[in-house]
Structure 1
Amino acid sequence: MPDAKQSKQLFDLAKNAMSQAYVPYSHFTVGAAILTVSGELYSGCNVENASYPEGTCAEAGAIAAMVRDGQTQIKEIYVMGEGEALVTPCGGCRQRIREFSSTDTMIHICGPEGVRKSLTMDELLPFSFGPENLA
């Protein structure tokens, strides 16, 4: 678990990313922030497109920035959205997160007021298929 300062930093990164989302169609903003095992931080926001399936999730944007920088191991990820319900990663993003995670990687589901629920990768995507299945 990150220390209190890192947790606040990750929460603030996700919140800032959420505020930068490009969502002219759904108006549903999502932000994500990643802490890698080496201590690097990355963030992303959702980006919609007039051709709806061509949009990008916040988690995918943060993962792409992480990989672009040569990082491949997520320690913690914060995902933030508005509304009453938990804004959990979609199925595709669960698999994207899984690709760069261990079983104990923490996924923190947040609202603008704070962390609402924290889950391990195994809890978010039990019995998952990952790189080791191809070995």
Structure 2
Amino acid sequence: MSRQQWESLCDGCGRCCLQKFHNGKTGKVTYTWVSCYLLDTQQCRCSDYENRTIRVPGCLVLTPSQIPRLRWLPRTCAYRRLSEGKGLESWHPLVSGDPQSVHRAGISVRGKAISEEYVHPEDVDFYAIGYRI
């Protein structure tokens, strides 16, 4: 798979750019509605994709070999689904032919996420999502 093909698997939901809490004892990951400051919360795309790992040291460059170990990726994530031998969802832009379908299906963080720029670090836990995404 070429880099362009790999990158096209991203559905643009923005879920992987949300801050998360990891419970080391249980392994449970709790997402929050607080996003990375580089996420454009309306477009659900990184505002500086090429430089994101420099500007946000914890940002990952996803590779096929990493995906099976990244259990925190959303269940809807195309990278995760393909790694698990599943197909793409009907709302995925590569299936629907429409980059807005991920938003219309309610999968993206559009209208839900708030940038970390507007949240005090001590208040992030108030934005915890009470269900699995």
Does the alignment reach a TM-score above 0.5? Answer: no
Q: TM-score, normalised by structure 1?
A: 0.25
Q: TM-score, normalised by structure 2?
A: 0.25
Structure exhibiting the larger radius of gyration computed from Cα positions: 2
Instruction: Between the two structures, name the one with larger relative contact order (CA 8 Å, sep ≥ 6).
Output: 2
